[in-house]
Amino acid sequence: MKKNILTLVSNYGYWGVELAAPRQKLLAAGYTLTYCTPTGGRPEALPPSYDPNYWDPPLGCHVTTEADAQLVRELMASPDLERPIDLSGWYPQRPYFSHPDFLRVWESYHRTVLERRQELEQHAGLLLVGGSGPILDMVNNQRVHDLILGFHQLGKPIAAICYGVACLPMARDFNERSSIIRGKHVTGHCIEYDYLDGTGFVGTDLNIGPPPYCLEYMLRDAVGPDGQYHGNFGRPTSVIVDYPFITARSLQCSHEFGEQFVNVLEGGLKRYGW
């Protein structure tokens, strides 16, 4: 079995343990990780995510343990993230319908996307890392959507945590335009844990206040009447497996998320947490 996980990380900051913890579990299980970012730059962890003194306003407590902070620092010091795949150079941009030679360009776009899907055969699954960064460059990124759809069409596991989960309801076949998580059980950032202020990004001076959308509401609408969103407010963790999707609410779930991703890959786990 191919034991490589394609790992998509934002160029505007990821939450450290949401990559470091599943990475640790995957490496221990004999997997390698191939990293990819929207523009090919080295991803950087959000500074609060490796600061044990950071106080999380919605939760009213410190959320980063010293052990997790050290795990993130070790990841940041490693050369693994130095030369990620540039998604913008790998996947094509969907053309405007106003393009003067639209039909030929449209056909070329679809041929290239199909070629890229065949390249995904070398990977056992996809990992979408969270943090605030994905809000800017992953969630409504058509190339990210095509990448996710490729794994979905191949029937391979797709694991997403925190705002990485927000990519899933947005990844839709351009003709059908229905959610790939329709009818599924998923979790993600619940409204009780949303920031009222202070949503920021690596490499910018932006503070956009609260997140620009409520992920819980997006997920509730996307799964439709036959699926279910599980916020599990008040429970320490929330990890849901409804194959091929492994979703996790936030940073506190990172270790459990990694464990269940491995259980899906190695043990054929199809359902967990509901």
pLDDT digits (tens, 9 = 90+) for 158-170: 999 999 999 999 9
Angle between helix 254-267 and helix 16-28 axes, rounded to 10 deg: 30
Does residue 23 surpass a pLDDT of 90? yes
CB 17 within 8 Å of CB 64: yes
Question: What domains are there in the chain, each with its CATH number?
Answer: 4-272 (3.40.50.880)
CB 34 within 8 Å of CB 147: no
pLDDT digits (tens, 9 = 90+) for 169-225: 999 999 999 999 999 999 999 999 999 999 999 999 999 999 999 999 999 999 999
User: Where residue 2 falls among pLDDT bands split at 50, 70, 90?
Assistant: confident
Report the mean per-residue pLDDT for the chain. 97
* Exposure class string for 88-101: b at 16+ Cβ within 10 A, else e: eeebbebeeeeeee
pLDDT of res. 250: 97
pLDDT digits (tens, 9 = 90+) for 8-20: 999 999 999 999 9
Q: Which two tokens stand for residue 34?
A: 């191939």
pLDDT of res. 116: 97
Rounded-to-integer distance, Cα 164 and Cα 230, Å: 16
pLDDT of res. 1: 57
Rounded-to-integer distance, Cα 54 and Cα 64, Å: 7
Residues 119-131, mean pLDDT to the nearest whole number? 98
Cα radius of gyration rounded to whole Å, the chain = 18
Rounded-to-integer distance, Cα 23 and Cα 29, Å: 10
Residues 138-153, mean pLDDT to the nearest whole number? 98
Sign of the alpha-carbon torsion through 63, 248, 151, 181: negative
pLDDT digits (tens, 9 = 90+) for 101-114: 999 999 999 999 99
